[in-house]
Chains A and B, each alone.
Chain A
Amino acid sequence: MLALFLRDARLGVRAGGGALTGVLFFLAVIATIPFGVGPDLNLLGRIGPAILWIGALLASLLGLDRLFQADREDGSLDLLILAESRHMLPLTVFVKCLAHWTASVLPLVIAAPFFGLLMNMEPAGIGAAALTLLVGTPAITFIGAVGAAVTVVLPRGGLLISVLVLPLVIPVLIFGVSASYAAVAEPDPFLPPFLILAALTLFLAVIGPVAAALALRYAAD
C-alpha cells in the first residue's frame, strides 16, 4: 500500500502530473477576481475566504479525471482490481485518493495563504482559510473519486466529473467558508462549522472509497 502511495505521488509530481497546473489555475482564478470586482479593498477582504475556497475547489477538480483513467488506459487498473484478495479495493482507492491529494491538492493548500494576500485578507482570515482548506479538501478528493470511478470508461469524462461532483461538495464548501468567516467575524463561533467540516471529511473518507470501488468493480470490461 505504501508502494502504491509512493508511486502515485511520484507520478503526480513528475512530468504529466497536474500539481503545477492546479496551482496555476488557482492563481488565475484568484488573480482575475480583483479585476472583476474592482479595487474595493474592504469588499475583497470580505469575499476573500469564499473566493479562496471556490478557487481551490475548482482547481482540485482539475486532475480528478486522471485518477483512475490513467491506470485504466495502461492496464494497471485491472491488476489493482485483481489484487483484491490481498488489498481490499476500497483501501486501494483510499490510498490512491491520499496520493492524489498529496501531489495535486496539498500544493493548493500551501499556495492559498499567498493568494489570500492578493485578496487583501487579514492574517487571521488567511490562517483560518488555509486551515479549513487543509481539513476540507480531502473530502473533495474522496467525493471526486466516486465521480472519477463512475466516468472511468468515458474518454472525455472530465467535465462530467465536475458536474457530478459539484452538487455533492456544496456542504463541504458551505462549512469550509463559514468556518473561515467565523475566524474574522467576531460573534460567530469558529469551532462548530470547523468540526462539522472535519466530520464531513472523515465520513466521506469511508463512503467515497467504498462507492468508488463498487463503481470500478462493475466498470471493468
Chain B
Amino acid sequence: MINDGERMRLIAENLSGERGGETIFSGFGFDLAEGESLMVTGPNGAGKSTLLRVIAGLLPMAQGAVRLDGGGEEWPTVASACHYVGHQNAMKTALTVAENLRFWQDFSGSPHLAVGEALEMVGLDGLGHLPFGTLSTGQRRRAAIGRLLVSYRPVWLLDEPTAGLDKASEAQFAALMQAHLEDGGIIIAATHLPLGLRGAKALEMGRPGNV
C-alpha cells in the first residue's frame, strides 16, 4: 500500500499484560515491517490471546507500548489499522452471511473486496443467502475470515484463526495470508498449529523474549 514512501512498522516494546491483577507475561517486544508476520505460540494460558488483545488496545497494557510507525493519516493508531479475529466470529446468527459481511464492510469502511468476491475467496460462494446460524463451525470461521477481506486493514491480528477449519481451507487461508503479506500487510497470529507462512517470525510465550 502507498503511505507517503515511508514503510509501515508495527513496534512493541517491553509489553506486559495482566489478567485479573496477575501479570501473565512481561518484557515482550517485536518489530514488524510491511510484509512480515509473527507467529505467537505457547501453551494454554501463556497469554497469547491477552497479548493480541493488548496489541489491539482492547485490554490495557500493564507496561510498555505498541505503536504504528508510518501509518500516515489513514492509519493514525494501531487500533485503526487492525483487523481483529478473536475466538468469536462477530457474526449475527439471525442475519445471512452476506448481510453480516456487508454490515462489517459498511461499518469498518475502506472497502476492499466485494462481498461476493470475498465469499468466493473463502470458499463460501453460493452460501451468502443462508442465515449465519445454519453454517457449520468451519464455515462460520471462513465467514469470519471473509471479514478480513471485505474491508482493508494493513494489520491482521488473528487469534487461533484456523480453529475448526479443514485441511483444504487451511491451505486456502494460508494463501490469503501470504497474499496479504505480499501486498505489504502485517500479520500477528496466535496459534497452536503451523499456519504455513513463509518467513514468519516466531514468538514463544511462556518465557520472556524479544523478536
Binding site for B on A (CB under 8 A): 1-4, 6-7, 10-11, 14-17, 73-76, 78-79, 81-87, 220-221
Instruction: Evaluate contact between A7 and B59: CB separation under 8 angstroms.
Output: no
Given contacts A17-B94, A75-B88, 19 further A-B contacts (CB under 8 A): A1-B107, A3-B103, A3-B106, A7-B99, A7-B103, A15-B94, A74-B93, A75-B90, A78-B56, A78-B84, A79-B108, A82-B79, A82-B82, A82-B84, A84-B79, A85-B80, A86-B80, A87-B107, A220-B53
Instruction: Evaluate contact between A11 and B92: CB separation under 8 angstroms.
Output: yes
Q: What chain A residues lie within 8 Å of B92 (beta carbons)? A: 7, 11, 74, 76
Instruction: Evaluate contact between B90 and A7: CB separation under 8 angstroms.
Output: no
**B87 — nearest CB in chain A belongs to which residue?**
A75
Shortest beta-carbon distance from B79 to chain A in Å: 5
Binding site for A on B (CB under 8 A): 19, 53, 56-59, 76-77, 79-80, 82, 84, 86-95, 99, 102-104, 106-109
Shortest beta-carbon distance from A147 to chain B in Å: 22
Instruction: Evaluate contact between A4 and B107: CB separation under 8 angstroms.
Output: yes
Instruction: Evaluate contact between A10 and B95: CB separation under 8 angstroms.
Output: yes
Shortest beta-carbon distance from B111 to chain A in Å: 12
Instruction: Evaluate contact between B58 and A81: CB separation under 8 angstroms.
Output: yes
- Known contacts A3-B103, A86-B80, A221-B59, A75 near B89 by CB under 8 Å: yes
Shortest beta-carbon distance from B171 to chain A in Å: 25
Shortest beta-carbon distance from A81 to chain B in Å: 6
**A79 — nearest CB in chain B belongs to which residue?**
B90
Q: What chain A residues lie within 8 Å of B56 (beta carbons)? A: 78, 82
